[in-house]
Amino acid sequence: MTIGVLSFPVVGQANPAHHVEDAGVAPAPGPTTSAPDPMATAPAMNGMGAMMAPASGCMGDDCGAGAGATPLYSSLMTLEELTPEKRAEIEALATQQIDEGMAKLVRGAESLTHTTRAEDHVVTQQAAALMHEGLDQLEAGVAARRVLAEGKAPRNLALDWFKREMNLATPVPHDRSTGWLGLTAIHWFTMALLVGFALAMVAMYFFKMRRASALFRRLEDKGPPPPGSAPPLGGKPAPSVPTTSVSPVDANWRGQLRIQSIVTETPSVKTLRLVPSSGAGVMPFTFVPGQFLNVAFSIGGARMNRSYSISSSPTQREYVELTVRREPRGAVSRHIDDLLKVGDEIEAGGPVGRFTFAGVDADSIVLIAGGVGITPMMSIARYLTDRSWPGDIYFFYSCRALADFIFEEELASLQRRNPKLRVVVTMSGAEGTDWKGPRGRLTKELLTQTVPDLPSRRFQLCGPPPMMAATKAMLSELGVPPEQVKTEAFGATKPSPSAAGASKPAGPATGPLVTFSKNTKSAKIRGGQTVLELSEELGIGIENSCRVGTCGICKVKLTSGEVTMAVEDALDPEDKTSGIILACQAIPIGEITVEA
C-alpha cells in the first residue's frame, strides 16, 4: 500500500482573475460581473469536509489523476502495526503534506498581501481559506511524523486527532499504571473488607450454634446433680420408647437385666454389658459415675448378693457395664466368670453408693486406683471426658504386671481424646518385662512430681484395703485434709463364720441383748460384734454383700434401742428418719430389737 498526493476540497472562483491571484498576479481593476460561487463564500470551511480534507491522501496503486482520495486518519485506523514498508509510506506522505501545506501558506499569504491592497474581499476570503487548508495539511504531516517519532499505535493517534478535531472529550490515557495482578489499591482494600465481613459472619454463626448447643444441654441436664443421686443425663438419642413407659429412677430400682456382651479385659477380669431385659431402648435407671449395682444369684440353693461398680459412663443411656474380677474363693465371681453367657438374665438393683464425682464438687480431681478398683474410676474418667469437663484429671493406677493392666487400651484412647487427662501407671511385679513406666508401689515422690499444689486437690481412692491405708497415710503426710479424700474398698467379701465353717467363739457373750423380732430369736452380743455377725451365728438370713456399709443390702429396721455405725454411706436421710440401720455396721449401745 502506498500513500499518494492529498486531495483538496473544491473552492469556487468568481472569475478567471482569481487564477491570476492564486499565481501571485494582481487582477486588473474594475468590478466583477458574475456572482461568486456559493461554495466560494464559505469563509471558515467549518463543515465536516473541511476538517477531513486536509488529512486525506490516495492509497496504493490508485493514486493518480482522478484517483479517489482516502482520508489519512482512516488509513491510520486500519494500520495494526508499523512495518518498515508502512513507515516509509507514512514518512513520504508526511513530507508531502508538510511541503504542500507550507506552499499553500506562502501562496495564501502573498495573495492576501495583494488583495488587501486592492480591497477585493472575495479574493481575500479565498486566500484565507487557502491558508487554512495549508495549515491543516501541515498539522496532518506533523501528526504523521509523531507516529514515527513517539512509537504510538497508528490507530490511537488517528482516533485522538479525530476527537480533537470534533471537539470531543479528551480520551482516557491507555497506559494507566495498575497494581499487583492488575488491580489498584482501592480494589484490594474493597476485597479485603468483603472477605473480613464474610469471615465475621461465619464466626458469628459458629458462636451462635455453640451457644444454642450449650442452652440445649442445660435444658437437658437441668443443672448439676446433687451428691449421691443420679442426674438426668443426655447421651445418644434413644430409640422410641412406648408412651406408657415410666421415667428412669435414680435409686431403689430392682429388676432383670440381660447380658448383651462379655469382654475379657485380663485373664481374671471380664466386663459384662447389661441392657434392659424388656428390650426398651434406654436403661430404667440413671446413675452418677462412681456408683455400683447390687446383683443377686441363686448358687447351690443359696441366695447370694454382691456389689459391683459400674465402669461405663452415665452418658451411655442404652447400657451399663460391670467389670468383675474372678476371686479364687469368690462364689459369685466364679459363677459369673465360669457360667454366665450372652443372653442370660441377672437380677440387679440400684444404683447405690456415694463414692461419686461428677465434676461439681471440685475444679480438679486425683483418681488413685489399685487392681480392680479401677472400675469406678473409669466411669468417672469416661464421664468427664464425654462432657468435656475443663478441670485437670490426674489418674494413678497400680497393678502387678502388664497381664493385670485393666482397660489399658481404653485409658490410652481417653488420653488421646482428653488433653486434660494425665495417666500414671505403676507396676509392682514388672521384673522381666519390657514395661518402661514407674515400677513398684505408689510413692510420695511420684505424687508430688505429677500433681502440682497437691494439698488443694480432691482425691478419690479405690483398691485393696492395704493399698488404701498406705495411700491415705501418704496423703496425710503431704498435707491433704482428710475431708478432701473419698475412699471405697475393693476386695473379697469377708465370709461369714457359718460360710467359712468356723465355730462360735469360746466364752459367753456379755454385751447387750439383741432381739430379732421376725425370727423370735434373742442373744447377747460380744464386744465389737455387729448385728449382722450375730445374726449369722443364730442362722438368721440377713442379706448382705459388701459388708463395709456402702451397698445397703443389709438394711434392717431398728424398732427399739440405739446403735453406733462407723459407715453410713448406704443410708439416705429418709432411711435415718425411719429407723433403718446397716446390720454390717451396727454395734448396739444397749438392748435393741430389729425386724429380721
Same domain, 423 and 560: no
Domain membership of residue 273 (yes or no) is yes
What is the Cβ-side half-sphere exposure of residue 322, based on CA atoms within 13 angstroms? 27
Domain membership of residue 537 (yes or no) is yes
Chain center to CA of 561: 63
Same domain, 113 and 204: no
Domain membership of residue 497 (yes or no) is no
Domain membership of residue 540 (yes or no) is yes
Domain membership of residue 231 (yes or no) is no
CATH number of the domain where residue 564 is located: 3.10.20.30
Nearest to 139 by CA among 74, 94, 88: 94
Q: Can you give the pLDDT at residue 247? A: 60
Q: Can you give the pLDDT at residue 185? A: 84
Same domain, 32 and 151: yes
The total number of residues written for the chain in this structure: 596
- Hey, which residues does 581 pair with through a beta bridge? 556
- The C-alpha cell 474418667 sits at 381
- Final residue of a structural domain among 329, 352, 375: 352
Same domain, 102 and 203: no
Q: Can you give the pLDDT at residue 350? A: 87
Is residue 552 within 8 Å of residue 574, measured between CB atoms?
Answer: no
Is residue 187 within 8 Å of residue 181, measured between CB atoms?
Answer: no
Q: Exposed/middle/buried for 260, CB within 10 Å: 0-12, 13-18, 19+?
A: middle
- The C-alpha cell 450375730 sits at 534
**Identity (one letter) of the amino acid at 431?**
E
Domain membership of residue 170 (yes or no) is no
Same domain, 29 and 121: yes
Same domain, 21 and 158: yes
Same domain, 35 and 154: yes
Is residue 220 within 8 Å of residue 234, measured between CB atoms?
Answer: yes
Q: Can you give the pLDDT at residue 504? A: 52
- Final residue of a structural domain among 325, 352, 379: 352
Domain membership of residue 6 (yes or no) is no
Same domain, 65 and 133: yes
Q: Please, what's the b/e burial string for 376-400 (b: 16 or more CB within 10 A of its CB; e: otherwise)?
A: bbbbbbbbbbbbebeeebbbbbbbe
Domain membership of residue 78 (yes or no) is yes
Same domain, 332 and 264: yes
CATH number of the domain where residue 338 is located: 2.40.30.10
- Final residue of a structural domain among 326, 352, 378: 352
Cell numbers standing for residue 400:
502387678
Query: How far is 430 from 440, CA to CA, in rounded Å?
Result: 8
Chain center to CA of 333: 45
Same domain, 432 and 377: yes
Which pLDDT tens digits describe the chain residue by residue (596 residues)? Answer: 333 333 333 334 334 334 334 434 344 344 343 333 433 333 333 333 333 344 444 444 444 333 334 455 666 666 666 677 777 887 888 888 888 888 888 888 888 887 777 777 788 888 888 888 888 888 877 877 776 777 666 677 677 666 666 666 555 555 555 567 777 888 888 999 999 999 999 988 888 888 777 766 665 554 444 433 444 443 444 343 333 344 677 667 999 999 999 999 999 999 999 999 988 889 999 999 999 999 999 988 888 889 999 999 999 999 999 999 999 888 999 999 999 999 999 999 989 888 999 999 999 999 999 999 999 999 999 999 999 999 999 999 999 999 999 999 999 999 999 999 999 999 998 888 888 899 999 999 999 999 999 999 999 999 998 999 999 999 999 999 999 999 987 654 444 444 444 445 555 788 899 999 999 999 999 988 999 999 989 989 888 888 888 888 899 999 999 999 998 888 888 889 999 999 999 999 999 999 98
Number of domains in the chain: 5
Same domain, 100 and 141: yes
Same domain, 50 and 77: yes
Range of the domain at 586: 506-595
Residue 332, number of CB atoms within 10 A of its CB: 20
To the question of pTM greater than 0.75 for the whole model, the response is no
